[in-house]
Structure 1
Amino acid sequence: MLKYIDNKILYDYNKCQQCGICDAICPKHAISFELQHNGTHKVIVDNDKCIRCKRCVNSCPVNKCEEYKNYFDSFKDKKYFLGYNSNDKVRRESSSGGVCKTLIIEGLRSGYIDGVYTLKKTDKYPYAEGEFYTKENIPDYCDLPNSIYHSVMACTNVNRIERCNRLMIVGTSCQLRALEKIAKSRCNELIKICIFCKQQKTLDSTRFLAKIIGEKINNDKKFYAQYRGTGWPGIVKINNSSLPWHRAAQLPFGRRLWTVPGCDVCGDSYGIESNADITLMDPWIIRERNELGETLITVHTEKGLKILKDIHNIVLEAKSYIEVEPALSLKDVWRKQRLVPFFRGEECGDKIIKAGKAELRQRKLLSCIAKKLPRMPILFYRILCKAPDFRNKILK
């Protein structure tokens, strides 16, 4: 998070959402990044180079005020689908049936969209970066990463976006907010695809998973990681060892450990405040583990509905709100929103303060146990996940 105070640009790591837009937007290259042991970056501002244009401050997604008052009012009226790629191989090898990759690739192949800003795979940590694709450089399915569970500064290459008619941008809600101003200025029509997100992870989460399966991530951060794919919910593979994802996700995600600090100040998991057209997420609870996979799609706009129906190779199964409600995590998103003022350092009631402090204590305790006991049987971590969640009990 960047703020303009006393004629200087000041940085707050504890509220940084790791989007990287500040570097991309700076006209004087006064911003650089310092890679941390946990895989996140600290922003370094050279105030001697800085001309105080405040573009970085204005683009920072944390500085864009969110309003959650009526956030959940329209969910019963939205349209929902289970979707997947019509090709079983693509469906199996992609995260959650491959809808996100299909929208990008088949949208470009069909000419429905002229450009897409999304992530591409790289061979250097964090093994993904922002890329602009057009019909002249359409990616293959293997060029696009599956879900990534360590921090990626997705917006650093936003200046690669060229002028086009219909542009699609893909990212979490904070990334969409960061990208929006530049993206809007370079197209006639903007389509926003939100990847549902309650918590980005630091590299410490992957280090924990590596230890569980007997692998190690060295300090040079050279390792192979596959998050998801090979059915649903898929696997996590680190170097030469793998673990079923439903087991791997229990402790880091179930108990919100090793979360990027800036995620605590965002409650817009669905990208509604970012004006997303559709949100893509996993069909937890409502679907059993299977060899292929599906994406749960929440449609927010008529534009979002049209793109789903116009782009080829996506199979859609319409679902009612009652059918998908258990998978939407609405109560958990609500609890996360309630604690945003606490993590922002704003004035809040005693109940919120109590819940926020309990959340921090619980994370600290569980991450300490996990760090000291990384090779316990999976049953041990399941038991940890069954322990009372103090945040939820206070906010119930």
Structure 2
Amino acid sequence: MLRYNDDKIFFDYLHCQQCGICEAVCSKQAISFRLLENGTHEVVIDHEKCIRCKRCVNCCPANKEEDYRTYFDGFHAKTYFLGYNTDNRIRHESSSGGVCKTIIIESLRTGIADGVYSLKRTDAYPFAEGEFYAKDNIPDYGDIPNSVYHSVLACRNINKIRKCKRLVVVGTSCQLRAMNAALKGKAEEVIRVCIFCKQQKTLDSTRFLAKIMGTDIPENLKFSTRYRGIGWPGIVRVNESELPWNRAAQIPFGRRLWTVSGCNVCGDSFGTDADADITLMDPWKIRMPNELGETLTIVHTERGEWLLEQLPSLTLERKDFEEVEPALDLKDIWRKQQLVPFFRGQNCSDKIIKAGKAEQWQRAMLTSIVETLPRMPIIFYRALCKLPDLRNKILK
């Protein structure tokens, strides 16, 4: 998070959502990044180069406080699908049936869009970076990473975007909000695809998973990783070791450990406040593990539904709200929203303060336990996940 005070731009790491937009919009190259030990980045500001235009502050998604009081009102009326690529090989290899990759690639191949901004796979940490795709560089399915569970400065390369008639942008809610502020005038029409996100992870999450698998991540970060794919929910691979993803996700995601601190001040998991047309997420609680996979696809706008209808490589199975409601996990997102004022340092009720402090204590306690005991049987970590969730008990 960047703020302007006393005629200077200041960086607040605790609220930073690691989107990378600040460097991209700085016309004087006054902003750079320093990689931290936990795999996130610190924003470094050269105050001599800075001209105080405040564009970085205005584009920073952490500065956009949202009102969540009516956030869940329209969910009964939205359109829901279980979607997947019609090619079973692509469906098997991709995260959750490959809907995201299909939208990116096939919207360009069919000429529906003349530009897409998303991620491309790289060989060095963080193994992904922002990329602008057009008809002259349409990616293959292997060029796009599966899910990435450590933070990526996804907006860092938005200056690659050329003027388009119809631009599709793909990202988490914070990344979409950042791009919304920075891309005015770049396209006649923008279609926004949100990757559902409750919590980005620091690299410490993957370090923990590596230890469970009997391997490690060296200090120089020269290692290999794969998140998801190979069926649903798929696998996580570090170096040559593998672990089923539903086992790997229990501690980091179930107990919200190693969460990027800026995620604590965002309650817009579906991207609706970022004007998302479509949200893509996993069908947890409504689908059993399987060899192929599906994406729970939420359509917010007519424009989003139109886009999906133009893609013959997608199979879409219509679902009612009652069928998908368990996967949406709306109650958990509501609880996260309740704590946003606490993590922003705002005035809160005694109940919210109690829940926020309990959340901090529980994360610290569980992190200490699992980092001290990283080679225990999986049943040990399952048992930790069965302990009462203090935040949830307070925020009934």
Shorter-chain TM-score category? Answer: over 0.9
1:237 and 2:225 aligned: no
**Structure 2: segments with no counterpart, 5+ residues:** none
> d(CA) in 1 for partners of 2:3 and 2:312?
44
Contact 1:335 1:395 in 2 (8 A): yes
**TM-score of the two chains, using structure 2 as the length reference:** 0.99
**Structure 1: segments with no counterpart, 5+ residues:** none
- Give, in angstroms, the shift of residue 51 of structure 1: 0.3
- Give, in angstroms, the shift of residue 224 of structure 1: 0.6
1:34 and 2:30 aligned: no
Q: Aligned residue for 1:130?
A: 130
Q: Aligned residue for 1:74?
A: 74
Q: Aligned residue for 1:330?
A: 330
- Give, in angstroms, the shift of residue 150 of structure 1: 0.5
Query: Does the residue aligned with 2:156 lie in a helix, a strand or coil?
Result: coil
**TM-score of the two chains, using structure 1 as the length reference:** 0.99
Q: Aligned residue for 1:144?
A: 144
- Give, in angstroms, the shift of residue 124 of structure 1: 1.3
Q: Aligned residue for 1:22?
A: 22
Bigger shift: residues 174-183 or 78-87: 174-183
- Give, in angstroms, the shift of residue 312 of structure 1: 2.1
Contact 1:172 1:195 in 2 (8 A): yes
Q: Aligned residue for 1:94?
A: 94
- Give, in angstroms, the shift of residue 67 of structure 1: 1.6
Query: Does the residue aligned with 2:97 lie in a helix, a strand or coil?
Result: helix
For each residue in 1:235-278, what CA deviation from the matched residue of structure 2 results, as whole angstroms up to 9, or x when unmatched?
00000000000000000000000000000000000001001001
Runs of 4 or more, structure 1, over 2 Å off, are: 181-184
> d(CA) in 1 for partners of 2:88 and 2:327?
23
Q: How does 1:178-327 map to 2 (within 5 A)?
A: 178-327=178-327
Number of equivalent positions: 396
Contact 1:226 1:236 in 2 (8 A): yes
Contact 2:59 2:182 in 1 (8 A): no
> d(CA) in 2 for partners of 1:297 and 1:336?
22
> d(CA) in 2 for partners of 1:51 and 1:182?
18
Contact 1:184 1:190 in 2 (8 A): no
Q: Aligned residue for 2:175?
A: 175
- Give, in angstroms, the shift of residue 65 of structure 1: 2.3
Q: Aligned residue for 1:113?
A: 113
Contact 1:285 1:326 in 2 (8 A): yes
Q: Aligned residue for 2:156?
A: 156
Taking only the aligned residue pairs, the percentage that are identical comes to 66
Q: Which amino acid aligns with 2:127?
A: Y
Q: How does 1:375-386 map to 2 (within 5 A)?
A: 375-386=375-386
- Give, in angstroms, the shift of residue 182 of structure 1: 2.9
> d(CA) in 2 for partners of 1:338 and 1:258?
20
> d(CA) in 1 for partners of 2:352 and 2:308?
40
Contact 1:67 1:273 in 2 (8 A): no
Query: Does the residue aligned with 1:155 lie in a helix, a strand or coil?
Result: helix
- Give, in angstroms, the shift of residue 329 of structure 1: 1.0
Contact 2:58 2:181 in 1 (8 A): no
- Give, in angstroms, the shift of residue 64 of structure 1: 1.5
